[in-house]
Structure 1
Amino acid sequence: MQSLLLLVDRVSTWLGQIFAWVIVALTLMITWEVFSRYVLNAPHDWALDVQIMLYGTLFMMAGAYTLAKNGHVRGDVLYGFFRPRTQATLDLILYFLFYMPGVVAMTYAGWIFANESAAIRESTFSATPLPVYPFKFVIPIAGAMLLLQGIVEIVRCIQCIQRGAWPSREQDVEEVDVDKLKAMVHVKDEDIQALDKFVAPHGGSK
């Protein structure tokens, strides 16, 4: 079971890392558009439409990745003081009351929305019309990934309630742990203190 949960984590992470490159594309495009508009005096009427579609794609596809990393916003001021079992029970209730109904509705409605858009070959209203319907299929795809990752998180909640501790999850980016870093490079506190004499001001000792 744990290997299956981690597999879903890896898929969410992989998709999140791929679509993170949209940030680079957006940055380059906005930079070029600003240069083109204010230096070359040659703005593009379709630029804003593309930016909106790319940002929407990034926003939607980052959801499952963020959930897999336990990175969504919550009231940690209170939540962090709860025992793991209490945290898991609260999460489980909220998943069933709000998360799952909302994600199922978004996925279902998004699929209908995308198909209707494809049926009429929907495009933007700019002077240079761009196809919109391919991007609208991002909605049900993102919803399906959120649904799958949500099921994984529900299973984790149940496991935590049973065992009293949260199960492991796929790691990606985490804050630097100084103690782990010291152990990795085989450095002790005594070694660091021995180097102080080389960096301390010469006039500091008596």
Structure 2
Amino acid sequence: MHSIIRAIDGLNEVVGRIVAVVAIIFAGIIIYDVVMRYVFSEPTRWAFDVSKQFFGFYFIMLGGYALRHKAHVRVDILTENFSRGWQRIIDVLGYAIFFFPFAYVFTMRSWDFAMTSYNQGEVTYGAIQMPVYPLKISMAVAAGLLLVQGIAEVLKILLDVDTTSEEAI
């Protein structure tokens, strides 16, 4: 089980680090567009659409990475005074009742959404017509990464793995 946890954590860690580079790319595009617009009075037709696509990709792909690093919002005010055992039970129930149904529906629906876009050859309606399906496929991939990271998190709870140190896994 520890190897499964390590593999899922590692996958989302690698994806998170690679996707972080996208932030640099879309910041560069925005800076380029601002310079072209205000310094050379030559605004680009494509920069807004491209940076919007990059930002959407960046934002959606980091869900599993954020869950791995406990960056999602949690409401621990009710459970902070409970024993560690009760906290673990409540966490597992929370995943079972709320997280997994959401993540499963998100994965299935975003896959259908992406395949519909791909089959239709959907493009943007902006200044340039860019294909939309790559972004929608990334949404399905991100949902899958979030789902498997949820599995890893539940395994950590069930095995009582200390997630504060990498060596524990």
- State the TM-score, normalizing by the size of structure 2: 0.89
Superposed, 1:44-193 pairs within 5 Å as 44-160=44-160, 167-169=161-163
Aligned equivalents of 1:43 and 1:79: distance in 2?
Answer: 53
Supply the RMSD in Å over aligned alpha carbons. Answer: 1.8
SS of 1:45's equivalent in the other structure is coil
1:78 deviates by 4.8
The alpha carbon displacement at 1:81 in A equals 3.8
**Which protein is bigger by CA-based radius of gyration?**
1
What does residue 21 of structure 2 align with? 21
Percent same amino acid at aligned positions? 33
Write the distance in 1 (CA, Å) between the matches of 2:165 and 2:59. 21
The size of the alignment, in residue pairs, is: 166
Higher relative contact order (CA 8 A, sep 6+): 2
Asked if the contact 1:114–1:137 (Cα under 8 Å) also holds between the matched residues in 2, the reply is yes
Contact in 2 for aligned 1:6/1:169 (Cα 8 Å): no
Unaligned runs of 5+ in 2: none
Once the two structures are TM-superposed, the CA of residue 87 in structure 1 deviates from its matched residue by: 1.9
Q: Is the 8 A contact 2:156 2:163 kept in 1?
A: no
Deviates more, 1:127-136 or 1:110-119: 127-136
**One-letter amino acid of the counterpart of residue 51, structure 2:** Q
Structure 1: 5+ residue runs without aligned partners?
161-166, 173-206
**Residue aligning to 1:203:** none
TM-score normalised per structure 1: 0.74
Following TM superposition, by how much is the alpha carbon of 1:71 offset from its aligned partner in structure 2, in angstroms?
A: 2.1
Distance 2:129 2:10 in 1: 37
CA displacement 1:154-183 (0-9 Å, x = unmatched): 1222223xxxxxx133868xxxxxxxxxxx
Distance 1:88 1:170 in 2: 16
